[in-house]
């Protein structure tokens, strides 16, 4: 589980001046990027970077990575509402990633400023100390009531997540396929009778597993008064690109069957089900929101090339799905509080979630 800690800094007067000047220039650069983004009507970081990167570095004297962070911050703000141009206060936050900030023990942090790197003392309390050795990703430098703080993201132990896997079915399927191949090569009457008995066994097992999974999901959502969020996987088999050896395994799982089981069980239990656009859920960093195929060095692992956050790919995708639901939660709550016509829940859910 990720948690944000607000850590107080104790800079010297000279360091205060360097940090304030860096903060002002950084947010001035963000306003410059916002002008271009609004003019071009785009929140695409790559497209904007081609236009504003060098002007930012020359005009505001920012380092290469700080210029990239300013562009990223502006794009994230503009994405929230493209009908208005975002503006940034001179004392607004500055985004520091692992290239701009490093920890020198638990009581000292190195920050990049316009004057170069400075080492700033950190106030450590009993609550912060056992957590600061688990810092992950980027941090935001903020200025509040005359004091500087770092909002750092740390990884803390959380309640174990319940995961469901198709490995059991895959082992059974593999065994059934091998047995079928042996019986078909035999060709005797006894072998044919045995093949008939095996008919539908894998499908029945898959159906039973999907029933069990959907029942647990709906039960947990009802007990915790939660919303069930699913990726809209319609057409997934056409989009899947897997090796020939894994094609049989990936195309045999009942995605739609599981979805239908969840839908009708949730309807009976009164649990809302919403559908999320699956685009980039496994490529987006849940901490800095950087999207790249390079974030997935392997099929099962996620390692953000921007902020360094890492974790299992399924867990990262689940966090992104939850975040997308959270953004639209007021709309979701209002929708399910209103009476709806029969069989319209899925269509309306897609309208406000983007599935």
- Residue whose token pair is 């899947």: 240
3-state secondary structure 140-165: EEEEECCEEEEEEEEECCCCCCCCCC
d(C-alpha 168, C-alpha 170), whole Å: 5
Q: What's the confidence (pLDDT) of residue 255?
A: 72
Q: What's the confidence (pLDDT) of residue 110?
A: 93
Helix (H, G, I), strand (E, B) or coil at 234: coil
Secondary structure element (H or E) that encloses residue 326, with its range: helix 313-327
Per-domain residue ranges for the chain?
2-155, 218-353
Query: How does pLDDT run along the chain (355 residues), one tens digit per residue?
Result: 566 778 899 999 999 999 999 999 999 999 999 999 999 999 999 999 999 999 999 999 999 999 999 999 999 999 888 899 999 999 999 999 889 998 887 788 999 999 999 999 988 776 666 556 566 668 899 999 899 999 887 766 555 566 666 666 667 777 777 787 888 888 788 887 887 777 677 777 778 888 888 898 898 888 888 888 888 877 655 555 555 555 555 555 567 888 889 998 998 888 888 888 888 888 888 888 888 888 888 877 888 888 878 888 888 888 888 887 766 555 454 444 444 444 333 333 333 333 3
Q: What's the confidence (pLDDT) of residue 327?
A: 62
Q: What's the confidence (pLDDT) of residue 148?
A: 95
d(C-alpha 56, C-alpha 38), whole Å: 16
d(C-alpha 227, C-alpha 189), whole Å: 53
Give me the residues paired with residue 229 across strands. Answer: 274
Q: What's the confidence (pLDDT) of residue 182?
A: 82
Is residue 68 within 8 A of residue 49, CB to CB? The reply is yes
Q: At what angle do helices 13-40 and 64-80 cross, to 10 degrees?
A: 50
Is residue 25 within 8 A of residue 147, CB to CB? The reply is no
| Closest C-alpha to 146, from 25, 9, 22 | 9
Instruction: Say what the pTM is.
Output: 0.50
Q: What's the confidence (pLDDT) of residue 55?
A: 94
């Amino acid at each position: 589980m990720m948690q944000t800690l607000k850590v107080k800094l104790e800079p010297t007067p000279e360091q205060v001046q360097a940090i304030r000047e860096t903060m002002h220039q950084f947010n001035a650069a963000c306003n410059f990027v916002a002008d271009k983004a609004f003019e071009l009507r785009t929140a695409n970081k790559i497209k904007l970077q081609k236009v504003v990167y060098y002007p930012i570095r020359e005009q505001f004297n920012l380092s290469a990575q700080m210029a990239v962070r300013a562009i990223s911050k502006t794009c994230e703000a503009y994405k929230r509402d493209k009908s208005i141009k975002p503006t940034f206060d001179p004392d607004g936050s500055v985004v520091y990633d692992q290239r701009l900030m490093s920890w020198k023990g638990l009581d000292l942090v190195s920050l990049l400023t316009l004057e170069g790197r400075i080492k700033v003392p950190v106030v450590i309390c009993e609550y912060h100390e056992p957590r600061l050795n688990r810092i992950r990703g980027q941090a935001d430098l903020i200025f509040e009531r005359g004091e500087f703080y770092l909002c750092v993201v740390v990884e803390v132990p959380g309640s174990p997540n319940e995961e469901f896997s198709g490995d059991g079915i895959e082992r059974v399927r593999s065994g059934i396929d091998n047995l079928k191949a042996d019986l078909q090569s035999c060709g005797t009457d006894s072998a044919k009778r045995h093949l008939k008995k095996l008919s539908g066994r894998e499908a029945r097992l898959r159906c039973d597993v999907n029933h069990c999974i959907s029942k647990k999901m709906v039960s947990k959502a009802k007990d915790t008064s939660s919303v069930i969020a699913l990726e809209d996987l319609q057409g997934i088999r056409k989009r899947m690109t897997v090796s020939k050896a894994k094609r049989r395994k990936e195309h045999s799982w009942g995605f739609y069957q599981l979805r239908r089981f969840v839908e009708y069980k949730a309807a009976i239990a009164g649990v809302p089900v919403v559908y999320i656009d699956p685009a980039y859920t496994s490529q987006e960093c849940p901490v800095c929101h950087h999207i790249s195929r390079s974030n997935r060095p392997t099929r099962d692992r996620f390692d953000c090339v921007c902020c360094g956050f890492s974790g299992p790919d399924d867990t990262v995708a689940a966090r992104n799905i939850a975040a997308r639901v959270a953004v639209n939660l007021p709309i979701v709550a209002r929708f399910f509080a209103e009476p709806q016509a029969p069989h319209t829940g899925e269509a309306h859910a897609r309208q406000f979630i983007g599935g």
